[in-house]
Chains A and B, each alone.
Chain A
Amino acid sequence: MKNNIIEMTRGFFNITVAVNGEKKELAVRNGEFLLDALRRHGWKGTKKGCDTGDCGSCAVILNGKPVLGCLVPAVAAHDGAITTIEGLGSVREPHPLQAAFVEAGAVQCGFCIPGMILSSKHLLDVTPNPTEAEIRKALDGNLCRCTGYVQQVAAVKNAAKTLAGKGKRA
């Protein structure tokens, strides 16, 4: 990348993007969406449920905002910063949201969960102490067919408490 111009080699655009805090050069296809580009480069936590922007399984955080990976052209992430589910935490060191989802029994098949956790992450970033209505609104773009959302809403509430506690200690 030179002067914000994306270079193209052999039909691929080379974009520069910080994924989960790590700067990467990614070769993306002409017309490729961020969801497919991320999955092709190994970030399999971003899921494809509809590919039409309706289910929310491919939600990631791009430059501080939740976006749907299936609607954002990969080249639009050039020069940006992306947080995927892999960037939040790991099985060894889960993010409080991930821990709260597990603890509340909010993970059934788990396919919608990465997107849902990222939507929740953005909610708690901007609204640390959300009401139930705010949580439901934030999760409104993430369809789940397994749970009925009861335990997921509880999980976000619990995570908000945990994060608030951490903030106080710090």
Chain B
Amino acid sequence: MDAKNLKVVNKPVAKMDAMGLACGEPAFTDDVEIKGLLCGKILWSPHAHARIKKIDTDAALKVPGVKAVLTYKDLPRVPHTTAGQGYPEPSPYDTYTLDNKVRYVGDRVAAVAAETQEAAQEAISKIKVEYELLPAVFDTFEAMKEGAPVIHDEEDSKNIPDAKHNIAAKFDFEVRNGDWFKEADHVFEHSWKIPYLQHCAIEPHVTIAYFDNAGRLVLRTSTQVPFHVRRIVAQALKIPVKNIRVIKPRIGGGFGSKQEVLEDIVAALALKAGRPVKLEYTRKETFISSRTRHPATCRMKAGVKKDGTITDAEMEITLNTGAYGSHALTVMMCSGSHTIPMYRVKNNIKFIGRSVYTNMPVAGAYRGYGATQGFFAWECLMDMMAAKIGMDPVVFRKMNYIKLGEGSPVFKAMGEGREGVEQVITSTGLFEAIQKGMDEIKWAEKKAKYASQTGPIRRGVGVACMMQGSGIPEVDMACATMKMNEDGSFNLLVGAADLGTGSDTILAQIAAEVLGIKADDIVVTSSDTDITPFDVGAYASSTTFISGGAVKKTAEKVRDMIIEVGAKILDKKKEELRLADGKVVAADGASCPLSEVANTSLYYYNQHQITASASHFAHTSPPPFQANFAEVEVDTETGQIKILDYVSCVDCGTAINPQLAQGQNDGAVVNGISHTLSEEMEFSSNGTPLNASFRRYKILSAADTPPVRSFIIPTWEPAGPFGAKSVSEIGINGPLPAVANAVYSATGVWLFEAPFTPDKVLKAIKKAR
């Protein structure tokens, strides 16, 4: 199968919300006027670890305009997780809306709602808190030691595997086929490190909580997971799900940070004040008190034979989950499950994973989700092995990467909170991706040219290959509903959360393809828990594959209903009919427009609304594949790395919308390059973040961004809608190893610690000499 005969899918249909957004139409959470809206503010902890001995809100309550002040005393104590995952969440229940203990600088202490921002701010400053300071721990390895401060010493938290040693999640797994490293000619062992990284969605976290005319709580919020927000807010505040409506308007980027349910506190403020409340994080608050990527130390040990066979591989990853264990287990699992199967390992495989609490900001979901951390190690190690046995890194990868029809014991062993599923690769364009990338970067030519360089400026090329998943198999579920209108147009209602990715558009394209109409004949409404059917939300690279599957099934049901009516109108057998160009068409050419079908069904004959719903979940998670090539120039005297060219070739099956898929890949790659070259949250010795602003935490701007070229390698995934797999996350994982490998090829120096800032590069160069 291929995408050749498709009419709407695989076409660059304009993103349906783009023009409104380009014209500044009020579309985002904060773009509405709500009468009587109060301003919410949170008092954040200045201490990394402390118990609240006394908290006095009298003076705060006396500030004119203050309508509500909340401390832990005012709220039910419900251990829960803020991780917006399917129920029951595989993250520990270690978080309270407000608690009598603070666990990092930036933790919630109290909350205020007032008529104005100034009044709210003043009230915050008048809350008197007496803290009992507790010893704090900032390093994962220190935190696991006997006698380290116990961050979660509360008795009512749930599912923490080893609170006494600050272990929020752990998993060990081994495949044993003989003695370790017995067959290996060379064995390598190193550790790679990734620091605290923030998502930097340009729209900060913002929620407006208000009440509808029946007194139900409405949360208009910038979220990737509206249904999980409804469930978790209901759980945390002990209110029925039926009393909450969650609306996701347009969202100004998420990248995983908005897969986090932080809406409980603004909901509590609104309920306490009996008034609508807006809580908008400042940029600083977004950096510190929303979520980050899990910093990691990934130790890998692998053996290789002279002929290029990888004999054994061991990965030990230690993630810093910060003060709470949001996504602690699942990010850790993905760091192995999305990476180890990439290459065939002949004998033994071992994975040791630990997610560790520290008194640091809370890590959560972040595009790449563990694979970023794992692939940095695995792909650099691949180049080390190739260099040692004198094989071209591309040839070495081609020899070992997972091929069509192959599986891995890791798929079954490592799931996300439960056992994984067995699967084999049912589509792959990695070979073509590698070929295309080599051609574009001029691999052979550059390798030869850069083989003999002198002087302080050195150039090199590097490669890194990637895989990811498409949704969480047998966990993620999505549903869609369609209904037909008089003019032959349709409403498509989906729970899927478009956070700027264009999922509304590609889901319309899928439905339009099935129904033989144009994408703009479909009006999409997404992510309103009162109106749209359930969907787990936008994460795990699931929307195209899972939600797209639901939309395709729904449209097929609708198609059958249309044909049923069309058969009556045309007096034909159903089997003779198909849908094309907005009509029901018979084999002999007779036809009737969809509008006639709609009017017949609504008004004339056997009246009924043509409408259907369908759900979809998957037994497999077909990985997209990607080949990344970087060309770099290193100034060995200053340590400055310049990326001269970056080519990224991605196999996402059928790109439902090639233009949007390219945009997804470009964005992921540039975010990854930004991680590689400059990003790192810095902290003082007492855990206070030092660079929580765009001025001091540098993300790449247009002028900083090196040339990035994305190419889509078409394949056909039989399990996906019209052959599609995922595309959103994979690209972020490539730059760290691809650039590190290019730097090695340029200078002979390995980099083990991100970001590759001049000081670190220079240090590595000096150490190597």
Q: Which residues of A contact B (CB under 8 A)?
A: 42-52, 54-55, 57, 84-86, 88-91, 94, 98-99, 101-103, 105-114, 117, 135-137, 139-153
CA distance A110 to B663 in the complex (A): 13
Given A52-B695, A146-B500, A148-B708; A107-B18 close (CB under 8 Å): yes
Q: B40 → chain A, closest Cβ, in Å?
A: 16
Among A49, A88, A101, the residue within 8 A (CB) of B203 is: A49
A-B contact pairs, 9 of them (CB 8 A): A44-B28, A54-B283, A98-B23, A105-B15, A107-B15, A110-B17, A136-B702, A136-B705, A148-B669
CA distance A91 to B19 in the complex (A): 6
Contact B19 A151 (CB under 8 A): no
Majority SS at the chain B contact face: loop
A residues near B280, Cβ cutoff 8 Å: 48
Contact A47 B705 (CB under 8 A): no
Contact B705 A55 (CB under 8 A): no
Contact A85 B23 (CB under 8 A): yes
Given contacts A107-B17, A107-B18, 14 further A-B contacts (CB under 8 A): A45-B25, A51-B282, A105-B659, A107-B21, A108-B667, A109-B21, A109-B251, A109-B253, A110-B27, A110-B500, A143-B694, A144-B202, A147-B663, A147-B670
Contact A102 B695 (CB under 8 A): no
A residues near B255, Cβ cutoff 8 Å: 145
Contact B24 A49 (CB under 8 A): no
Among A45, A91, A143, A150, the residue within 8 A (CB) of B202 is: A143
Majority SS at the chain A contact face: loop
Contact A101 B694 (CB under 8 A): no
Among B14, B203, B501, B695, the residue within 8 A (CB) of A111 is: B203
Q: Which 10 A-B pairs have the closest CB atoms?
A: A45-B24, A109-B500, A110-B21, A111-B252, A148-B666, A85-B24, A148-B670, A54-B694, A105-B659, A139-B702
A residues near B22, Cβ cutoff 8 Å: 85, 94, 98, 101-102, 107, 110, 113-114, 117
B31 at the interface (CB under 8 A from A): yes
Contact A52 B23 (CB under 8 A): no
Q: B37 → chain A, closest Cβ, in Å?
A: 12
B250 at the interface (CB under 8 A from A): yes
Which residues of B from 10 to 56 have beta carbons under 8 Å from A?
Answer: 12, 14-15, 17-28, 30-31, 33
Mask: chain B, 359-388; 1 = CB below 8 Å from A; 0 = not: 000000000000000000000000000000
CA distance A22 to B535 in the complex (A): 45
Question: Chain B CB within 10 Å — which of A98, A114, A139, A148 has the most?
Answer: A148
B residues near A145, Cβ cutoff 8 Å: 199-202, 253, 255, 667, 671, 699
B residues near A143, Cβ cutoff 8 Å: 200, 202, 694, 699, 701
CB nearest to A133 among chain B residues: B703
A residues near B499, Cβ cutoff 8 Å: 109
CA distance A107 to B500 in the complex (A): 8
Q: B629 → chain A, closest Cβ, in Å?
A: 16
Mask: chain B, 637-664; 1 = CB below 8 Å from A; 0 = not: 0000000000000000000000110110
CA distance A49 to B14 in the complex (A): 26
A-B contact count (CB 8 A): 186
CA distance A99 to B20 in the complex (A): 11
| Count of residues in B whose CB is under 8 Å from the partner chain | 57
CA distance A144 to B199 in the complex (A): 12
Among A45, A84, A98, A102, the residue within 8 A (CB) of B15 is: A102
Contact B14 A103 (CB under 8 A): yes
CA distance A94 to B20 in the complex (A): 10
CA distance A54 to B703 in the complex (A): 14
CA distance A165 to B335 in the complex (A): 52
Contact B23 A49 (CB under 8 A): no
B624 at the interface (CB under 8 A from A): no
CA distance A94 to B280 in the complex (A): 30
Given A44-B24, A139-B702; A94-B19 close (CB under 8 Å): yes
Question: Chain A CB within 10 Å — which of B283, B499, B702 has the most?
Answer: B702
Contact A105 B660 (CB under 8 A): yes
CB nearest to B705 among chain A residues: A149
Which residues of B from 699 to 729 have beta carbons under 8 Å from A?
Answer: 699, 701-705, 708, 710
Contact B19 A102 (CB under 8 A): yes
CB nearest to B695 among chain A residues: A54
B204 at the interface (CB under 8 A from A): yes
B502 at the interface (CB under 8 A from A): yes
Given A45-B23, A49-B283, A148-B667; A109-B201 close (CB under 8 Å): yes
B693 at the interface (CB under 8 A from A): yes
Contact B702 A151 (CB under 8 A): no
B residues near A151, Cβ cutoff 8 Å: 659, 662-663, 666
Among A46, A51, A105, A136, the residue within 8 A (CB) of B12 is: A105
Contact B702 A149 (CB under 8 A): yes
CA distance A79 to B669 in the complex (A): 45
Among A108, A114, A149, the residue within 8 A (CB) of B502 is: A108
A residues near B705, Cβ cutoff 8 Å: 136, 148-149
Contact A108 B702 (CB under 8 A): no
Contact A49 B663 (CB under 8 A): no
Question: Chain A CB within 10 Å — which of B14, B253, B499 has the most?
Answer: B253
Given A44-B26, A54-B693, A145-B667; A102-B14 close (CB under 8 Å): yes
Q: A97 → chain B, closest Cβ, in Å?
A: 8
Contact B283 A51 (CB under 8 A): yes
Contact B283 A147 (CB under 8 A): no
Q: A141 → chain B, closest Cβ, in Å?
A: 7
CA distance A82 to B287 in the complex (A): 32
CA distance A85 to B501 in the complex (A): 22
A residues near B501, Cβ cutoff 8 Å: 108
Contact A150 B500 (CB under 8 A): no
CA distance A39 to B467 in the complex (A): 43
CA distance A1 to B449 in the complex (A): 70
Mask: chain B, 471-488; 1 = CB below 8 Å from A; 0 = not: 000000000000000000
Question: Chain A CB within 10 Å — which of B21, B250, B671, B703 has the most?
Answer: B21
A residues near B31, Cβ cutoff 8 Å: 44
CB nearest to B707 among chain A residues: A150
Question: Chain A CB within 10 Å — which of B27, B28, B252, B693 has the most?
Answer: B252
CA distance A114 to B23 in the complex (A): 7
CB nearest to A98 among chain B residues: B22
Given A49-B283, A52-B283; A94-B23 close (CB under 8 Å): yes
CA distance A165 to B671 in the complex (A): 35
CA distance A48 to B27 in the complex (A): 14
CA distance A86 to B436 in the complex (A): 43
Among B202, B704, B710, the residue within 8 A (CB) of A49 is: B202
